[in-house]
Structures are given as structure tokens and as C-alpha cells.
Structure 1
Amino acid sequence: MFEILQLPQFTPYRQVMSKFGIGSSPQALLISQIYPVTKFESLGRFKRRLGMAQDESSSGDKETMNTGSGSKLCRSQLYLWILDIIAPEHARPKNEFGQKLGEFYDQRKAQFQDNPELWKKKAVARLQAEALRELKRSLALSEFAVNG
């Protein structure tokens, strides 16, 4: 698996994911689901592939958005990345991405500190969505630079 990740077509993906503090094993999993990123016409399709799309669930007067379609394994990996790399201040990447994601995480944490379940659900979902948007944008720019 790690030999395959060394192939030149994956270099831009690995460079971008490394900036986000995503390790080699999670990179392999995520790349297996999103390569090539140009096949995704919209952020919604990209999010769905990674298990982060939200589906509307309505029942009577109650409307909710559930995350649940797509890859459960990718969703779990992204959740662990947030808990292991973004949540602890000392583990955050020492770059613009780590700073922005860390600030976003800290703001949400402070906002929902009194309600841990609400905080956990909303902070993780929004942080993942923001990270996915930035990841897709960065991967598309990197792929464009490589392929011209």
C-alpha cells in the first residue's frame, strides 16, 4: 500500500493531506475513495464519497439532517483525525490550515461547552465539512498544476 502511495500521480494528494496533518494510512484510505478528484463535479458528491454528506430526514413537524451516506470507514477516519490532530492544540499542523481549523474547533468548543453532545455533533460535522472543502480545493489546484 505504501509503495503504491509513492506513485507520482498521488504526490499532489499526499502533499496536500500532509499539510492537514493526515498520516500515511489515512491518506491511503482517503485517496482510494477520491482519486482522481476531478471526477467530482460538486462538493456534495465529494462529501458523499467520504461519508460526510447530509441527508434530510423529515417526520411530521421534525426535520433533521443526518450524516450517514457514503463511506463509514472514511467518516470514522476523518473523525479520528479531528480528535487526534485538530482538537489537541499541540498536535495541530503548524501552518495556515492547522491554525484555521484549530481556531474553528476552539470557537465551536467554547460555544457548545455547556452542552457536550450538541458541541460534539455540530463541531465535528462543520469542521469536517470545512476541511473537506479545503482539501478538495487544494487537491484540484495541485492536480491542475501537475497535469496543466
Structure 2
Amino acid sequence: MKIVLQRVSKASVRVENVQTGAIENGLMLLVGIHEDDDQQHMEWLAEKILKLRVFDDKSGKMNLSVQDVKGEILVVPQFTLYADYEQGNRPSYFSAAGPEKAEKLYNEMVSYFKQQSELNIETGKFGANMDVEFCNDGPVTLVLEK
């Protein structure tokens, strides 16, 4: 599983001009699922994300988690994170999980966040062409992989 985590002051997702998710002050996650990923990979990363200290404390040091600041999380599926571009000029996605498996793990991650926190959790739409807008705060961007 590969996740691009961005600390944002706002973020939103639209599908066919209909907003499917929007947050203020929190984390936007672009989530790629590998063909070998399973429940354990997802839970490890989800727990790491809930506890990751990427928000500033009163002295300006990144010392607080999204839960500490009562932030929000926007979870966006992104299979292109597993693009292989080594040969030729057209990326291939053979290592990305197939749609059925990827959608199941994506939905399980969203459910995990909702069950393990009291945060507002918003989503993109799996398999859709999405318009994603965000304002990266910091900027703080991390790539997490398990």
C-alpha cells in the first residue's frame, strides 16, 4: 500500500460536478493499493496515519496528530501510485491491485478510520474520474508505504 499524505487547510473531491467529499484542516490521503496488500497492511498504515505527528504545537514544532487537533481526513483512491514507467512512455499498472480487491481494501480503510477515531472522514469515489482540489499546508507531504 502506498499513500501520499498531505497536510491541508482544505481539500475537496468532485465527480461529474458533484462534490463527494470536502474537509478543512486535516489530512488528504491519496491511496494506492498493491496486488499483495491485505488487511494487515491497511490497518498498520491507518493506525500510523491517526498517530503521525505532522501538525504544529503551540511552539511551532510538528508534534500533534490529526486526532490531537481534531482534524479531518479525506481519503481518495489513486491506483496510479503503482505506475511502472521503466519501459516505454506509457505507464503500466500491473502491480496495482485489481478493482475488486482495491475497492474492498479502500472501503475497509475508510471504515477503520471511522471506527477508530471520532474524526470526520470524507471520501472520493472509487473508480471515478475525480477533480481533486486542495491547499497543502506547510507544505507537508509524506509518502507512506507498507
Larger helix percent: 1
Q: Same fold (TM over 0.5)?
A: no
Larger strand percent: 2
RCO comparison, higher one (Cα < 8 Å, 6+): 2
TM-score (norm 1): 0.27
Q: Whose radius of gyration is greater, 1 or 2?
A: 1
